Chains A and B, each alone.
Chain A
Amino acid sequence: MGRITLEKVQKKFGEVEVIPPLDLTIEDGEFVVFVGPSGCGKSTLLRLIAGLEDVSGGEIRIDGAPATNLPPAKRGLAMVFQSYALYPHMSVRKNIAFPLKMANMPLEEQEKRIETAAKALNLTDYLDRRPGQLSGGQRQRVAIGRAIVREPSAFLFDEPLSNLDAALRVGMRLEISELHKKLATTMIYVTHDQVEAMTMADKIVVLRAGHIEQVGTPLELYHTPRNLFVAGFIGSPKMNLISGAPAAKHDATHIGIRPEHMDVVESGGTFVGKIGVAEHLGSDTFFHVHLDEMDEPMTVRAYGEVGLRYGDTIHLVPQADKIHRFDEQGLRIE
C-alpha cells in the first residue's frame, strides 16, 4: 500500500515561503510526476514527503497514518537520487543489502532478495564490484536495486536520469516504467523534463514557485491546459502563444496553437511569414517562422519531408478546434 496525502503542507526556509500550503493526494500504485522549471519547489516537495526536510505546517499521511513527524527511516519509503548516492566504500552487493541490514532481516532472506533484484536489473555480474568501477547507467541500476529490495510502500525518484547521456536516459526511462507496471507500487518522480513526465506518468503535477498549477493525466494537460504556464510548459516543441489582434478574433487575450496543429497551405494562410530555421528530421520537419505580428518565431511541425527552406514564404492555417483560448489572467476559456 502506498497512498500519500498532503494536507495544507507548507515549507518555509527562514522567511522565504518556498511552498505555500498545498493539498495533494497520491493514490496507491500511481505513477505521479512532479514537473516544473528549476526552483519551482518540486524537489523540496519530494524531500518533505521523504522526511529529509521538516514541514513548516500541514500534515503528511502515508496510508492514512500521520507521518509528518516521522524520521525518514520510519516512513517506509525508498528514494533514488540524481547523484545515485551509492556508498562508495561498499560493494554493489553490500549497497543493495544495506536497507535489509538496517531492517535486521535474516541473512538468507537478504541473499534471496539481492539475487532477485540483481537478476531483474542485470547486475548479477557486478555484485562484487565497487560503485566506482561501474558506468553511470549501472550505478543508477544499483540505486534502483537498493530501493526495490526492501519493498517500500512508495518509491521517490529525484531527477534520477539527469546525469545520464541521452541514449541511456531513454533506455532507463523505459526500465523504470516497466518496473512500475511489474511492481504496481506508488512512484513519485521529480523531473524538469516534460518529455519524461508525459511518457511515464499516470498523473502529472505541474508546479511553479511552489504552487500547483494543474494536476491531471498527461493527455488532459496536453488537451486542456488550465492556464498559459501549463500550456507553454507541456508539449514539445512548445505551444505557440499569440496575443493581440489574432487573439482578439477568437474573443481571447491570448491564444495558443501547438506546432503540430498548424497546417501548411499553398496560399491564403491565416499567418504568413518567412522561414528562419528549418529542422529536417525525416519523419517531421520543424519550421521556425518569423511573423510580423509576433516577436518570437512561430514553430510549426509538418509531417514528413516538406521542400521549404530558409527564406521561403510559408502560409499557415491553425486547426480551428485545436486553438486554446486564455483570458487576461492567463486562465483557460472553455
Chain B
Amino acid sequence: MARAISPRKKIMWTALAWGFGLLIFFPILWTFLTSFKAESVAISDPPVWFFFDWTTQNYSDVLARSNYPLALMNSIIIAVGSTILGIIIAVPAAWAMAFVPGKRTKDVLLWMLSTKMLPAVGVLYPLVLIAKYFGVMDSRMLLVVVLMLINLPIIVWMLYTYFREIPGEILEAARMDGAGLKSEILYVLTPMALPGIASTILLNVILAWNEAFWTILLTTVDAAPLTKFIASFSAPEGLFYAKLSAASIMAIAPILIMGWFSQKQLVRGLTFGAVK
C-alpha cells in the first residue's frame, strides 16, 4: 500500500520505536554491563556506564562457586523433556477436540485454560506431599512431569488452533485411502501442522526454561536448573549484584541464542493462518 509519509514524521516514528525498543532491552543491557564490573563498581552511585575496568572475575567466581554445567543440563532436560512429553499427550487431545468435537469440547478447553488462572501456590502443598510420598523430590523426572502439566493447557490450545485450520475433508480422504488413526495423524495431520507444532515446541521450551516457581521450590541440588542457579546468588547475607548479573547472563544466554535463531519460525507459527 502506497501512502505518503513526510520524512519528518518518518524520523519521529523511527526514533520513537527505537526508544521503546531500547527501553525494553535496557534491563538486559544493564545486567550484561554489571556482570563485567567489580562488586564495588556495581553498586556505585551515580552508576558507571561504560568506562570501568572490565573484568571477567565474576564469571570465574560463579563457575567456581557452583555447578553451572549441571544446572544447564538440568534446564535442558527439564525444558525439552516436558515439551516432548506435552506434545505427545497434546497432539491426540487437540486432534479429538478439533476434528470430533463433542457438546462439551468448548467447556473442556475453557476449563483447561482456567487452571492457568489458579494461583500455583495453591497446589504446592499437595504436590510436595505427593512428590515426597513417591520419593521423587529434587528429581528431573518430577520437574519434567510437573512442568508438562503446568504448560499442557497452552500446548493443547495452540495445537487446537493450528489443527482447526486444516480442512477436515483431507483427513477424511486419508481415512478413505485406508489410513487408520495412527497413519492419519502421522502422515497427514502432523506434516500439515508442522509450522504450528514447531512454534508450539519453541514457545513451550522457552516457557519451561523460564519457569521459576516450581523449579525453585521442588529442587535442592541434583535437579536444580538454571533458575535455581540464579536464585542461589541472591543469598541472605547480602546481594552480590555483579555475580548475580553474571549468573543471570549465563542462565539466559542459551535460550536467548535459541530464540534468536528461531525467531522467524516463531513469528511464522504464531501468525499461522492469520492471513490466508
Q: Across the interface, name the chain B residue whose C-beta is closest to A88.
A: B192
B residues near A79, Cβ cutoff 8 Å: 172-173, 176
Known A-B contacts A83-B167, A87-B170; the reply to A77 vs B176 at CB < 8 A is: yes
Q: Across the interface, name the chain A residue whose C-beta is closest to B180.
A: A73
State how many angstroms separate the Cβ of A158 from the closest Cβ of chain B. Answer: 9
Query: Is residue A136 within 8 Å, beta carbon to beta carbon, of the partner chain?
Result: no
- B176 touching A72, Cβ below 8 Å: yes
Across the A-B interface, how many residue pairs have beta carbons closer than 8 Å?
61
In whole angstroms, what is the CA distance A98 to B175 when docked? 11
- B177 touching A102, Cβ below 8 Å: yes
Query: Is residue A103 within 8 Å, beta carbon to beta carbon, of the partner chain?
Result: yes
B residues near A52, Cβ cutoff 8 Å: 172, 175-176
In whole angstroms, what is the CA distance A73 to B191 when docked? 20
Of A50, A82, A83, A103, which is within 8 A of B176 by CB? A50
| B164-205 interface (Cβ within 8 A of A) | 167, 169-170, 172-180, 183, 187-188, 191-192, 194
Query: Is residue A182 within 8 Å, beta carbon to beta carbon, of the partner chain?
Result: no
Contact flags A93-114 to B (C-beta < 8 A → 1, else 0): 0000011001100000000000
A residues near B173, Cβ cutoff 8 Å: 79, 81, 85-87, 146
Query: Is residue A150 within 8 Å, beta carbon to beta carbon, of the partner chain?
Result: yes
Chain B: number of interface residues, binned into ranges: 10 to 19
State how many angstroms separate the Cβ of B175 from the closest Cβ of chain A. Answer: 4
- A102 touching B179, Cβ below 8 Å: yes
State how many angstroms separate the Cβ of B179 from the closest Cβ of chain A. Answer: 5
Of A51, A71, A81, A87, which is within 8 A of B188 by CB? A87
Of A81, A83, A89, A99, which is within 8 A of B178 by CB? A99
Of B169, B174, B179, B187, which is within 8 A of A83 by CB? B169
B residues near A156, Cβ cutoff 8 Å: 176
- B175 touching A85, Cβ below 8 Å: no
- B174 touching A98, Cβ below 8 Å: yes
Query: Is residue A78 within 8 Å, beta carbon to beta carbon, of the partner chain?
Result: yes
A residues near B170, Cβ cutoff 8 Å: 85-88
**Pairs across A and B, CB under 8 Å, 13 listed:** A52-B176, A72-B172, A72-B176, A73-B177, A73-B179, A73-B180, A79-B172, A85-B170, A87-B192, A88-B170, A88-B192, A150-B177, A150-B178
